[in-house]
């Protein structure tokens, strides 16, 4: 049986970055535990200091198939290229042609409006993609 994974991002603004990735992946905000209306209610109940209440965020696949993304606030900024990045497969596959590329461009426009930036277009032997950065500079690809 496969082991489930969580992908964790260090962030300056964990809640904002979680919201961006919810949009990018069509994920949802993780709801607080049963019995709590908000995460702040939960944090207060477990005794978390109020200054930490907005230091975390999470994005989950509503279908349960994809990994949970967890975002944690850290004091230092990003200083180097990612050693791991996410590939967003929106085109429909390597044989999707111009229609697939139109889906890539449409999705990238939505993400740019949400704070991402396009770095460059890549035409590698394994396919065409856009290399992008999220609002905090984490690299990812849309193919």
Q: pLDDT tens across 1-56, in order?
A: 889 999 999 999 999 999 999 999 999 999 999 999 998 999 999 999 999 989 99
Contacting residues for 116 by C-beta, under 8 A, at least 6 apart: 20, 24, 108, 132, 133, 134, 135
Residue with tokens 């230091």: 55
Q: Running DSSP on this structure, what letter comes out for residue 52? A: G
End-to-end CA distance of the chain: 29
In the block, which residue shows the tokens 């930036």? Answer: 117
Confidence of residue 96 (pLDDT cuts 50, 70, 90): confident
Hey, where are the domains in the chain? 6-73, 86-142
pLDDT at position 95 is 77
* CATH of 86-142 among 2.60.120, 3.30.720, 1.10.10, 1.10.3470: 3.30.720
Q: Output the pLDDT for position 127.
A: 77
Using the predicted structure, report yes or no on whether residue 93 has a pLDDT greater than 90: no
């Amino acid at each position: 049986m496969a082991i489930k994974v969580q992908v964790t991002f260090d962030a300056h603004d964990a809640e904002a970055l979680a919201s961006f990735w919810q949009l990018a992946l069509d994920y949802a905000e993780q709801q607080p535990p049963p019995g709590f209306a908000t995460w702040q209610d939960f944090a207060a109940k477990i005794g978390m200091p109020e200054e930490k209440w907005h230091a975390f965020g999470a994005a989950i696949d509503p279908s349960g198939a994809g990994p949970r993304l967890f975002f944690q606030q850290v004091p230092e900024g990003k200083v180097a290229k990612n050693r791991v990045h996410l590939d967003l497969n929106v085109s429909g596959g390597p044989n999707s042609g111009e229609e697939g590329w139109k889906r890539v461009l449409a999705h990238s426009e939505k993400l740019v409006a949400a704070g991402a930036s396009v770095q460059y277009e890549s035409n590698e032997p394994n396919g065409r993609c856009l290399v992008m950065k999220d609002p905090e500079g984490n690299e990812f690809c849309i193919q």
